[in-house]
Amino acid sequence: MLIKKPADIRYSEITPKQIYMNRRNFLAGAPAAFLGARELLSPSARALAGTKLPDVQKSKYTVDEKQNSYQEVSTYNNYYEFGTDKSEPAVYARNFQTAPWTVSVEGLCNKPRKFTMEEILALAPLEERVYRHRCVEAWSIVVPWVGYSLSALLAKVEPAVRASYVAFETFFDRRQMPHAAGLQFPYVEGLRMDEAMHPLALLCTGMYGETLPPQDGAPVRMILPWKYGFKSIKSIVKIRLVGSQPATSWNGANPPEYGFYSNVNPQVDHPRWSQASERRLGEFRKRPTLMFNGYGDQVASLYNGMDLKKNY
């Protein structure tokens, strides 16, 4: 980042005292605070990306595979709000305003509330998890994401027993996203409650040890490594606990092609192309796609007794 020193605004003025008093959380929240200050000083400033996230712990949920480069992961994006060509988000999301940012967690729970980005960053220890990421378009990447299990956030609002699904919503503003096309916006996604509570379901705030760049879903997104990439919703503003299966964007756009579950499954082809193999970015030959993207040991039990051909 260009700005190395704190701006002319006291951290305590823009951060709740509770967080200010906690050293670790203070450090975790610092990048967002810088961002807030910077935005105040220069409203047209670029969204802050690439700020180092402090105190990131290594996670046991890590695959030992060659990671893709930051360059690859940040220039090859499906983020239709910023254009439908995969090279477009890196260009059109450049000025995306990601601060201030709040995520509203609401619906069937005892303590619905809004979380500021500072609060989200400080809510649980940040972990680095190297996950495989498989796009429905049959390419894949390996990325060191930063974040923590979504369950930590959901626990804060105390979901009601009736809450059986979680619905997510992406920020949408036509003014900031004039190139949005190809889908109905805002983008929405959903998970069954047990999927959302699964430890692998990552509430992601960074990659490569830094805050997310806007084209990768800044400032906060989901990462669901056993599902096709489009399930991993970006730039979340709303999380809603609901009693029935919520609508999801790609399913709404084309129900026969994109199901609610969309688990990675080499045996169930996309109606128009095979899902049996994938191209790992940077590799010449295709490689076979793994059931649940290789996360079967952890997640297969979630789908016991389900016909995965029907529930694609």
Partner 1 sequence: MLKRRWAKVLVFAAGLAPIFWLCWRAWNQNLTANPIEFITHYTGDWTIRFIVLTLAVTPLRRVLGLPDLIRFRRMIGLYAFFYGTLHFTTYIWLDKFFDLPDMLKDVAKRPFITAGFTAFVLMIPLAVTSTAGWIRRMGGKRWQRLHRLVYFTGIAGVAHYYWLVKSDIRLPAMYGALVGVLLLYRAAVWGMKRKSGAAVKRPVSAISPGALRDNP
* Contacts to partner 1 by CB under 8 A: 68, 71-73, 75-76, 80, 84, 86-87, 137, 139, 181-183, 250, 253-254, 272-274, 279, 281-282, 284-286
Phi first, then psi: what are they for 103, rounded to 5°? -120, 125
Q: Which is closer to partner 1, CB of 156 or CB of 286?
A: 286
Of 5 and 272, nearer to partner 1 (C-beta) is: 272
- E strand spans, the chain: 57-58, 102-107, 113-116, 127-134, 139-149, 165-170, 188-192, 202-207, 210-211, 221-223, 236-242, 277-280, 287-288
| CA dihedral for 215, 216, 217, 219, sign (positive or negative) | negative
Contact predicate 206/59, CB 8 Å: no
Find the shortest distance in angstroms from Cβ 182 to partner 1: 3
Rounded alpha-carbon distances, angstroms, from residue 51 to 77, 86, 122, 169, 293: 20, 24, 15, 25, 30
Task: Give 85 or 194: the residue with its C-beta nearer to partner 1.
Answer: 85
Closest CA to 99 of 15, 21, 189, 19: 15
CB 283 to partner 1: min, Å: 10
- Closer residue to partner 1 in complex, CB, 52/287: 287
Cβ-based nearer residue to partner 1, 284 or 309: 284
The minimum distance between CB 78 and partner 1, in angstroms, equals 9
DSSP code string of 94-120: TT----S-EEEEEESBSS-EEEEHHHH
Q: Sign (positive/negative) of CA torsion 101, 93, 153, 208?
A: negative
Shortest approach of partner 1 to residue 208 CB, angstroms? 15
Task: State the nearest-atom distance from the C-beta of 172 to partner 1, in Å.
Answer: 16
Of the candidates 269, 221, 189, the residue with the CA atom closest to the CA atom of residue 278: 269
Q: Which is nearer to partner 1, 281 or 300 (CB)?
A: 281
The total of other beta-carbon atoms located within 10 Å of residue 151's CB is 15
- Is 233 strand, coil or helix? coil
Closest separation between CB of residue 189 and partner 1, Å? Answer: 15
Q: Which is nearer to partner 1, 165 or 230 (CB)?
A: 230
**Paired residues of 165 in beta bridges:** 192, 242
Please report how close the Cβ of residue 289 comes to partner 1 at its closest, in angstroms.
Answer: 14
